Structure 1
Amino acid sequence: MLKQIEKILLKVQKPARYIGGEWNIIRKNWAETAVKVAFAFPDVYEIGMSHLGLQILYHIVNSRADALMERVFAPWPDMEKMMRERKIPLYSLESYRPVRDFDLFAFTLQSEMTYTNVLNMLDLAGLPLHSAERKDGEPLVIAGGPCACNPEPLADFIDLFVIGEGEEVIQELLDLYKLVHKRRNFSGRRFGKAKTPNTSFSFPDQTNL
């Protein structure tokens, strides 16, 4: 897909937003990691990369031998237009893989103003907007961050909300996903039925919000 992306870079503003390759990025072996996470900041690259929480979670997940995390940002309208015209799906900056190839599609909700970007990014990724319409084999869509304390506005679109500090529960979340995936051979739809005492996890289809 990189060749498709390269063909449109000179036609959009600030093309460096879309190519990755910065110092200290982490590229891990896809085949050797059990859990793949696409960490999505629902705003443009410049805003997302200034967020410390992204850097912390990126380090925590990629420090595990069994997991990887790659970054995804919202494209500017000119890039979005090009992507839609050429049927280029939303992709990660590390490997240029489509988001739908990952196990977890995790959003950080820093402001209610980005909620429409969350829906737009789901659509760009080629995923159904409503969680009830997603199938086995599609990523589990997760949301955390300050705005996750009120899940209701996005409850129809997110499979799992993480309430509180993500760095405190990310390890348990990855362990639980890995365990459930191994036992049941699926990629997300029944994850919410896993038994966990962690009250930081909120599943909209099971929780009376």
Structure 2
Amino acid sequence: MPFLWDTEPRAEERPPVWAAFATLGTQVERLVLANVAWAVVLVPAVVALAMPELPVAVRTLLILVSVVALAPATAVLYGLADEACRGRQVDVALARELAGELTRPALHTLAPLSVLFGSLIAGTLLLTPLLLSVTLLLSVTATYWGPLFLADPGQGWVPLARESARLALGRPEQTLRTWLACGVVALVGVISLAGIALVVPVLMALLHIHRHRHLTEEHLTEDRG
């Protein structure tokens, strides 16, 4: 007779949104630490924004440090989340290995997309309807940026953005489910403040990766059929 834990569904057998939470539960301490390490990258920018009395040159340098480090840190976070989704244990050695592999590709591919997205978000302060619509659409396609980057770190940002849009438009309902789930997670993180540093980014990465894996499996099933 199987043990009780042998009869529970595995993360990959659950719907993608619930699978992300299940994966988080399997290594919650390690993934939270990974998230905290990612959040440390934002500290220089936070210091620059919180201390206007600092010289402009110093504040600019601090912000640039965060901006440059954000893409590689995000790539490593997604890499760790991907390994967790595959049932593998994440640790410091794995993070170092991923950092060595993904830092340069992330600066080449993810950094331009991040700058574009950040610029659009800043531009939405103008409340231009067209700009708001473009920003929202880009945020939906961003669901697949991380997973597609991991699949081919050497690709350019334009092909990655194009493939992300194709996936989002090809499976709009499923993509929107994950997008809305990420929105709720982000909102809770903003309200709680500590959530951003502790778990929100890594949970969003898990949501993105599980959705992409689910779509990939669907495509394979359709091809076999």
Same fold? TM cut 0.5: no
**Larger strand share, 1 or 2:** 1
Q: TM-score, normalising length from structure 1?
A: 0.29
Q: Which has the bigger relative contact order, CA under 8 A and spacing at least 6?
A: 2
Decide which structure has the larger Cα Rg and report it. Answer: 2
**Larger helix share, 1 or 2:** 2
